[in-house]
């Protein structure tokens, strides 16, 4: 795209944002989030740690309803990963690992503890519901990225286990969190925020229940499923024999959690009108025509 065309597109986008912002309530805000993300589950039983966290970003819109309450919603994207190599000593020998990208959209009700318009600062907390998508994968001995759900590592969907159903990659979670918001100006706030999600699945990490019969897994899903369902034989001192059917692989009574934490920057949507006011006036002007410089200057 030529520079002049790119500039025209940028001007149109800015003007569009400005016009939309002017139609919304002046108190509504737009927020950017940037920080880290982690999880709690079979491969990481600790409740909250910063260690081994991965980047996360998000955007949200908040609409104050009154002095105390606001309706807020947004989307977040981040990565979580864990490995038994980082786990408790008694679980390291299991040698499982996973990585997944989390994509979520949420809606909640926020309550402010203080009046930020007078004190320039307020703690807050919120609760609501989220819908998220995940797809766990791991690398095999050759470093090849392999998605785990199609392998049915715990017998999900195999004909030999009709009661074991494949898990869904899109799930619902309870969304809640809180933070601190600081007013830099009338239209700009910055803050720190911690968000936590209680899911209703134990398969974000592809680990939940028990091992199944090796031959059943081999016959219907192949050798790759066998290799990634049981990996203790890959490390020194690990048991080389595939576990018996029914041996414990995870803890199905405890659902997985994920959480993210970081910094926020919040801007009033009405402020966009001021930011692009000058841009709108420029967009309405025409470029100057060619000037005739044929006259001689003496």
- Of 173, 168, 169, the C-alpha closest to 107 is 173
Among residues of the chain, what percentage have pLDDT more than 70?
82
Backbone angles phi, psi at 237, to 5 degrees: 85, -5
**Any residues with CB less than 8 A from the CB of 15 and at least 6 apart, and which?**
276, 279, 280, 283
pLDDT of residue 16: 46
CA 282/CA 272 separation, integer angstroms: 16
CA 114/CA 125 separation, integer angstroms: 11
* Residue 19: pLDDT over 60: no
The whole-angstrom distance between residue 147's C-alpha and the CA centroid of its chain comes to 19
Span 94-146, pLDDT tens digits: 999 999 999 999 999 999 999 888 889 999 999 999 999 999 999 998 999 99
pLDDT of residue 125: 98
Q: Give the chain's mean pLDDT.
A: 86
Q: Which residue in this structure is represented by tokens 């990490």?
A: 205
CA 114/CA 118 separation, integer angstroms: 9
- Of 174, 156, 187, the C-alpha closest to 258 is 174
Q: Which fold has domain 26-130+169-197+256-281?
A: Porin (2.40.160)
Domain positions in the chain are 26-130+169-197+256-281, 135-167+211-247
- Per DSSP, what are the bridge partners of residue 33? 58, 264
- Of 16, 86, 3, the C-alpha closest to 279 is 16
- Of 219, 84, 83, 82, the C-alpha closest to 155 is 219
Q: What is the mean pLDDT of residues 53-79?
A: 96
**Any residues with CB less than 8 A from the CB of 193 and at least 6 apart, and which?**
33, 35, 177, 178, 179, 180, 261, 262, 263, 264
**Any residues with CB less than 8 A from the CB of 258 and at least 6 apart, and which?**
37, 38, 39, 40, 80, 102, 132, 173, 196, 197, 199, 204
**Any residues with CB less than 8 A from the CB of 127 and at least 6 apart, and which?**
108, 109, 174, 175, 176
* Residue 175: pLDDT over 90: yes
């Amino acid at each position: 795209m030529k520079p002049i065309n790119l500039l025209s597109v940028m001007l149109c986008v800015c003007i569009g944002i400005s016009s939309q912002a002017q139609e919304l309530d002046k108190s509504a805000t737009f927020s950017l989030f940037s920080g880290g993300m982690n999880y709690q589950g079979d491969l990481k039983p600790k409740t909250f740690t910063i260690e081994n966290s991965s980047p996360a970003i998000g955007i949200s819109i908040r609409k104050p309803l009154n002095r105390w309450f606001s309706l807020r919603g947004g989307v977040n994207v981040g990565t979580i990963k864990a490995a038994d190599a980082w786990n408790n000593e008694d679980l390291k020998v299991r040698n499982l690992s996973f990585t997944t990208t989390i994509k979520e959209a949420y809606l909640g009700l926020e309550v402010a503890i203080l009046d930020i318009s007078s004190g320039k600062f307020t703690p807050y907390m919120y609760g609501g519901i989220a819908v998220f998508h995940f797809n766990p994968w791991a690398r095999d001995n050759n470093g090849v990225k392999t998605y785990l759900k199609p392998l049915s590592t715990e017998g999900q969907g195999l004909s030999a286990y009709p009661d074991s159903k494949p898990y869904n990659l899109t799930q619902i979670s309870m969304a809640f969190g809180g933070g601190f918001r600081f007013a830099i100006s009338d239209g700009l706030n910055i803050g720190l925020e911690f968000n936590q999600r209680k899911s209703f699945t134990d398969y974000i990490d592809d680990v939940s229940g028990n091992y199944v019969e090796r031959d059943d897994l081999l016959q219907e899903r192949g050798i790759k499923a066998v290799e990634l369902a049981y990996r203790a034989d890959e490390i020194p001192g690990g048991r080389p024999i595939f576990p018996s059917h029914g041996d414990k692989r995870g803890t199905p009574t405890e659902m997985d959690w994920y959480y993210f934490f970081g910094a926020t920057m919040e801007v009033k949507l009405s402020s966009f009108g001021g930011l692009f006011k000058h841009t709108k006036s420029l967009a309405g002007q025409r470029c100057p025509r060619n000037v005739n410089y044929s006259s001689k200057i003496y």
